[in-house]
A = this chain, B = another copy of it.
Amino acid sequence: MQLQLLFWMCLLTVYSIIATAVTQSIEFPEWDWGDELTTAIGVAIGVLLVFRNRSAYDRWWEARTLWGKLINDSRNLAVKTAAFAEIEPNDRQAFAELLIAFPHALRMHLRGQREPMPNVAALYPEFDEAQHRPAFISLQIFKLMNKWNRGNKLFTSIRILERHGNGLLDVCGACERIRNTPMVSSYLYITWCSVILYCLAAPWPMGVNFGWYALPIVLLSNGFLLAMEVVAETIEEPFGTEQDDLPLERYCSSIESFVRDTLA
């Protein structure tokens, strides 16, 4: 984000300096409505940017909450399996591997990556061909539950476990929704146009009326608008690997260590 912002700011600074220099060297008629322009368009853009940043932030926070739910459901599954299921160590081990693999698979799925996952592939050789890897893992989790249930190892507690099993696929679907649904393109378009037009127009009336004194103010207010816009864009895609994106690796390893502790 910082690099992108820096690049735009440099461009803008050069442009503003040139604009101010031109206004100082050529004799313009004095406009007494320069500030009206600034205020009117400024209010409009402010309204838009608040709206845009709020919906971007809401997406970001929803994504965070979804991964929080994934952590909760994984933990509950681990704890409840340890408490309610009287199963063989083998199954316990396989279940733990599946629980651990799910967030990793989801993370790669959301980022379009597909690294090998040897632990799961060792248990389920057909895993490597699975199209939708989180769904494959979720299916194996439910199959294990079904086996235990029919083997009467859960003693009326199948629904206690199953409830959290849903959570896995629900989180996956909701994360895909956030990743695949960009902000309404018309809003993006209007916001960008407004910010660009404002940044291009602002130096001229300010330069004509106030000369070089106006430069720092123009740069500051333009930088502010640009920063808001750039942050909104970064925040909107919370599953990337940029600075303010969610630390999915950390969540994955937090689930991993918890499940290993509880089920090992």
Interface residues in chain A, defined as those with a beta carbon under 8 Å from any beta carbon in chain B: 1, 31, 33, 35-44, 46-47, 49-51, 53-55, 57, 60-61, 64-65, 68-69, 71-72, 75-76, 79-80, 82-84, 131-132, 135, 138-139, 142-143, 145-146, 149-150, 155-160, 162-163, 166, 169-170, 173-174, 176-177, 181, 184-187, 190, 194, 197, 209-210, 213-214, 217, 220-221, 224, 227-228, 231, 234-235, 243-244, 257-258, 261-262
Contact = CB atoms under 8 A, between A and B. Distances in A.
Contact of A158 (B61, B156, B244): B156
Given A169-B79, A173-B75, A57 B57 contact: no
Given A72-B169, A157-B158, A186-B234, 14 more contacts: A33-B213, A36-B38, A39-B40, A64-B177, A71-B173, A71-B177, A79-B135, A83-B139, A83-B142, A83-B146, A149-B155, A185-B243, A185-B244, A197-B220
A131 B174 CA distance: 31
Contacts of A257: 131
Given A68-B177, A169-B79, A173-B75, A184 B46 contact: no
Main secondary structure of the interface of A (DSSP, over half): helix
A78 B169 CA distance: 11
A75 B227 contact: no
A261 B132 contact: yes
A42 B41 contact: no
13 contacts: A33-B214, A36-B38, A38-B40, A40-B217, A44-B224, A60-B184, A83-B143, A135-B258, A135-B261, A159-B159, A186-B234, A190-B231, A194-B224
